[in-house]
Amino acid sequence: SQQGEEDPQALSIQEGENATMNCSYKTSINNLQWYRQNSGRGLVHLILIRSNEREKHSGRLRVTLDTSKKSSSLLITASRAADTASYFCATDRGNEKLTFGTGTRLTIIP
Amino acid sequence: DAGITQSPRHKVTETGTPVTLRCHQTENHRYMYWYRQDPGHGLRLIHYSYGVKDTDKGEVSDGYSVSRSKTEDFLLTLESATSSQTSVYFCAIRLNLDRGGGNTIYFGEGSWLTVV
């Protein structure tokens, strides 16, 4: 069963705007990770946030984690055409495996 | 570049035939994974390995077997392919890049399998 569920399933925004994607999960976690997948390619790791962290930044990415609500959000600021991709959250429960959500498909309109 | 190579990258096969997908890594990583990706389901873990000859099932292991006879190679076999196994298959390795114990996954480029 899926541990993570992303919302929305698809998102289209104008270039330069901010994009926010959300992830909800079901059980306690050690950390939560976000990945990006360009069309026809493998997933690429973006950022990891541990269960004892509430917010983390990396370049134009900002991730928040609310363990009480079992949810996370990924914010991409000042979006670019190259950000067009699918984004997945993945949860690590410390059992040697990552469980992925179903993804958000982001389209940046030039 | 964590040095993962998947082969074949594309394959069309007939129902009932055996198929083996190969994942090759060059950096001696202990953990290797096979995922499948389908629309509406995201990525689902098929099998994984935590060492030579050490493997375990994931959430969608039925109809699949794996083998790891040496560190660098992790093979996924469909003993008798069915149309429901038409999918994109991704091999991945676990990278322990985070000193706090968080492990990230590095993916191969995928193998597109069509069962007709």
List of chain B residues whose C-beta atoms are within 8 Å of the C-beta of residue A41: 109-110
Q: Is residue B97 predicted with pLDDT exceeding 80?
A: no
The number of C-alpha atoms within 13 Å of A57 and in the hemisphere containing its C-beta is 3
Considering only the beta carbons, identify the residue of B41, B43, B109 that sits closest to A41: B109
Residue B107 CA to residue B102 CA, distance in Å, equals 16
Residue A24 CA to residue A69 CA, distance in Å, equals 8
pLDDT at A94: 82
Q: Got the DSSP string for A4-24?
A: EEEE-SEEEEETTS-EEEEEE
Average pLDDT, chain B: 92
Tens of pLDDT, residues B40-56: 888 999 999 999 999 99
The reply to whether residue B90 touches residue A96, judged by beta carbons under 8 angstroms, is no
pLDDT at B1: 53
Residue A65 CA to residue A68 CA, distance in Å, equals 9
> Under a CB-based contact definition with an 8 Å cutoff, are residues B41 and A5 in contact?
no
pLDDT at A6: 85
User: Which residue range(s) make up the domain with B22?
Assistant: 4-115
Does the N-terminal peptide bond of residue A8 adopt cis geometry, omega within 30 degrees of 0? yes
pLDDT at B3: 85
Residue A33 C-alpha, separation from nearest chain B C-alpha, in angstroms: 8
Residue A3 CA to residue B42 CA, distance in Å, equals 11
Is the Cβ of B98 closer than 8 Å to some Cβ of chain A? yes
A-chain residue closest to B95, CA distance? A45
List of chain B residues whose C-beta atoms are within 8 Å of the C-beta of residue A48: 98, 102, 104
Is the Cβ of B101 closer than 8 Å to some Cβ of chain A? yes
> Under a CB-based contact definition with an 8 Å cutoff, are residues B38 and B87 in contact?
yes
Cα–Cα nearest to A11, from A63, A101, A85:
A85
CATH code for the domain of B111: 2.60.40.10
Q: Provide the CATH topology of domain A4-109.
A: Immunoglobulin-like (2.60.40)
Tens of pLDDT, residues A32-54: 999 999 999 999 999 999 999 99
The total number of structural domains that make up chain B: 1
The reply to whether residue B41 touches residue A2, judged by beta carbons under 8 angstroms, is yes
Tens of pLDDT, residues A71-85: 999 999 999 999 999
The domain limits of chain A are 4-109
Confidence band (pLDDT; 50, 70, 90) for A13? very high
Is the Cβ of A1 closer than 8 Å to some Cβ of chain B? yes
Is the Cβ of A69 closer than 8 Å to some Cβ of chain B? no
Residue B104 CA to residue B93 CA, distance in Å, equals 8
The reply to whether residue B102 touches residue A101, judged by beta carbons under 8 angstroms, is no
Residue A110 C-alpha, separation from nearest chain B C-alpha, in angstroms: 26
